[in-house]
Chain A
Amino acid sequence: MGDSQKQAMDLHPVWEWFRWLHEATGIKLTIFYDAFDRARFWNGFLTSVRLMAICVAASVAIGVIGAWAQGARLRLLRLAMQGYIQFFRNTPPLVQLYFFYFALGSYLRMTTETGLSVPLVSNFAWAVIGLSLYAGAFNVEIFRAGIEAVPRETVEAAEALGYSRLKAYVFVILPLAFRISLPALNNNLVNLIKTTTVAYAIAVPEMLYVANQIWSDELNVPEMMNTLLIIYVGLVGVLVYAMTRWERAMRIPGYAPS
């Protein structure tokens, strides 16, 4: 109750300043002074951030597991992994999403008690699945490169100490490979964050989708477009900052793989 009352009053001077800005200069940033637009833009922003966070986590997990599978002894597993990587790297993420949402989604439906046919997987979930698989394919390759850069002597030393393949991977190879792959991973995650806008195509109410609704209603295309650009550049900046901090925190003093 308190929240909606606060929104209805909508008298904070900072917000009012934007109304003044509109009246004085014609710059129409309704997302600040119009309670309805502000609420839906904020929700779009949150949806975007949630989508980004889940996809980043899932794609890194796919990368770690996939890189392990690529070195597996089972030939079929290696081939399947290669196929997955090549397929997702060489086809448009947009068409992949369409394929998941429209083609596969048309089979994954269930009928409720009322007789309505509803999709089993929501469009948000499809976006998470599609984008994670897409970015994950790149992450597998990135981690594989990192693993190959781990000095062979280190791996052999682990084997000599009696580590099993999995244990050597988890405790010796991965921690080193992860540090080596961080810059490339950083790049790919930035790309993933930018690609989340593609979820617009399957009507996930993320920031671009909401912005589109707002500029259709308020006819303030330039303002909304610039706002979008600035917010995305800002979000990418936050990620890059966090990754650089992390990279610095994980640095092993004196360890520089050749």
Chain B
Amino acid sequence: MIAGRTDLPVLLPFRPGARSAGARRPGRGHALALVSGLVLSIGIGDALAAPGVPSILATLVKWTPLLATGFLLNIAISFIAMAIGTALGTLLGLMQISLFRPVRGFSWAMTQFFRNAPWLVLLFYCMLLLPFEMPIGQAIVPLPAWLKATFGLSLAVMANVSELVRGAVLSIPSGQWESSEALAFSRRQTLWMIILPQCVKRMLPPWMNLYAILVVGTALASIVGVNEAMTLTGDVLAAESRTELLVPMYLYLLLWFFAYCYPIARATVALERRFQVR
């Protein structure tokens, strides 16, 4: 049969969606591959280890509760930074489409500045330039390191959300604006009741994508001395001081992040496909 010998698509039997089958199929094997890498490295590490020390698996299990607390801090930082960043970013994004030129210019400059500054530099900025405690009224509120790091990260989130909002509003067909104007909606009403509800749907996938990037970014807080999962992993490695532990331990930490971010990434792709306008 010709179809068996050729790779010319014209001669192949028609199969709908055949072209993208390989690349698009949801891979259940990724996490499995990572886990098997971990298992393999544990095996190699155990083989290299000096006799008499506890096995690597036992060591990983021993430190898991500690790592879990560290990872919880990562999640907490990401939640708070996302909340602050989204609130401020939405405001900034709406300012970017303001009719008043100075407001537009100011918010554009803010957005570009914080979007183009490296996250790590922003983190250092907040860590070193914010005070360790702040007087609010009568009370003195302490600002722990992790909170300052959260502010630093939320600045970056803010700028990205601002661009998302601007892009989403601009992507709404101008007919929506015109018809609501014809129906005598004021500008504010148009924005709140017609434009923004449609934007939410468009913004959701990129917003989730940003969240996944933020979670991955929280590991940066370890550089500025926050006791999150990465820092604790370093501490554990220092406490154990066994070189054969290095590869399994880092892989283990990578697996934690992967297990959290990968479902988000998959959900984002699924949502994107669902909202896709054909």
Contacts and interface: CB of A to CB of B under 8 A. Distances in A.
Nearest to A77: B22
A195 interface: yes
B251 interface: yes
Contact of B257 (A95, A225, A229): A95
A91 B216 contact: yes
Interface string A161-176: 0000100000000000
A83 B33 CA distance: 8
A190 B116 contact: yes
Contacts of A111: none
B250 A103 contact: yes
B167 to A, nearest CB: 12
Interface in B1-56: 7-10, 19-20, 22-23, 27, 29-30, 33-34
Contacts of B124: 208, 212, 225
A25 B34 CA distance: 56
Contacts of B254: 87, 91-92, 95-96, 99
Nearest to A226: B125
A142 to B, nearest CB: 13
A49 interface: no
Interface string A104-118: 101100000000000
A48 B176 CA distance: 47
A87 B243 CA distance: 24
B113 interface: yes
Interface stretch (B99-107, B181-189, B195-203, B218-226): B218-226
A18 interface: no
B33 A78 contact: no
A126 B57 CA distance: 28
A160 interface: yes
A199 B257 CA distance: 20
Q: Which of B23, B230, B261 is the most central at the interface, judged by chain A CB atoms within 10 Å of its CB? A: B23
Contacts of B117: 194, 229, 232-233
Interface in A71-98: 71, 73, 75, 78-79, 82-83, 86-87, 89-96, 98
B165 interface: no
A90 B230 contact: no
B212 interface: yes
Contacts of B112: 233
A78 B262 CA distance: 19
Contacts of A94: 219-220, 222-223, 230
A246 interface: no
A106 B8 CA distance: 49
A82 B27 contact: yes
Given A94-B219, A95-B257, A106-B243, A225 B128 contact: yes
B20 A78 contact: no
Contacts of A152: 19
Given A89-B265, A91-B216, A229-B121, A200 B253 contact: no
A144 interface: yes
A194 B222 contact: no
Contact of B120 (A87, A91, A208): A208
B23 to A, nearest CB: 5
A61 interface: no
Contact of B23 (A78, A103, A215): A78
Contacts of A160: 8, 10
Contacts of B217: 92
B23 A225 contact: no
Contacts of A78: 22-23
Contacts of A208: 118, 120-121, 124
A31 to B, nearest CB: 16
Contacts of B9: 156, 159
Given A90-B216, A159-B10, A221-B128, 15 more contacts: A83-B27, A87-B33, A87-B254, A92-B230, A94-B219, A96-B254, A99-B254, A103-B250, A103-B251, A106-B246, A144-B23, A165-B7, A197-B118, A208-B121, A233-B113
8 contacts: A95-B253, A99-B247, A99-B254, A107-B247, A165-B7, A190-B116, A228-B121, A229-B117
